[in-house]
């Protein structure tokens, strides 16, 4: 049980770092949070696999431009729930509020991340948004 709690804390620490570098717009460090390849699963496209560094960088640039055009200035973590699946695999369910410069809410999102430990570092291997009214793993209320 002790090892499980330690992995849970590591996953939470990873996710706080991930949001911090996203907010700082530290592109290199943000891109380093992902395994290659990684997958995005969405209602619109199903499974999208990102294999190349150039594709990952271009996706990130597109997302950041779209967010900024909508008034985004930062993302605040509301909740992180982490589940170790084994010593090198974990699942994170996170609630995040994206904010505008006046601190008003741009949007509230919930996403699921599957991670794999590569050496000493956790890396995202898949991302899936959990859209209302669905709750996602653990059926944790929003």
Could you report the per-residue pLDDT of 76-119, keeping only the tens digit for each?
A: 999 999 999 999 999 999 999 999 999 999 999 999 999 999 99
What is the domain class of 2-132 according to CATH?
alpha beta
Does the structure show a pLDDT above 70 at 126?
A: yes
Phi, psi of 126 (to 5 degrees): -160, 150
Domain boundaries, the chain: 2-132
Closest alpha carbon to 19 in 118, 113, 117, 84? 113
Q: Is the pLDDT of residue 1 over 80?
A: no
- Which residues make beta-bridge pairs with 90? 84, 115
In whole numbers, what is the pLDDT of the chain averaged over residues?
94
CB atoms within 10 A of CB 112: 17
Based on DSSP, count helices (H) and strands (E) in the chain, helices before strands.
3, 6
Question: Is the pTM for the entire model greater than 0.85?
Answer: yes
> Per-residue DSSP letters for 113-135?
EEEEEETTEEEEEEEEE--TT--
Closest CA to 11 of 84, 104, 68, 62: 84
């Amino acid at each position: 049980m002790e090892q499980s709690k330690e992995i849970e804390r590591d996953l939470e620490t990873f996710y706080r770092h991930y949001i911090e570098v996203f907010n700082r717009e530290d592109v290199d460090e943000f891109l380093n949070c992902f395994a290659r390849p990684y997958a995005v699963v969405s209602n619109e496209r199903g499974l999208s696999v990102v294999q190349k560094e150039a594709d990952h960088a271009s996706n990130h640039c597109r997302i950041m431009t779209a967010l900024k055009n909508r008034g985004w200035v930062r993302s605040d973590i509301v909740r992180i729930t982490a589940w170790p699946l084994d010593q090198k695999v974990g699942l994170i369910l996170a609630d995040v509020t994206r904010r505008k410069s006046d601190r008003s809410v741009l949007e509230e999102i919930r996403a699921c991340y599957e991670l794999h430990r590569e050496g000493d570092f956790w890396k995202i291997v898949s991302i899936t948004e959990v859209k209302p009214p669905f709750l996602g793993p653990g059926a944790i209320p929003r």
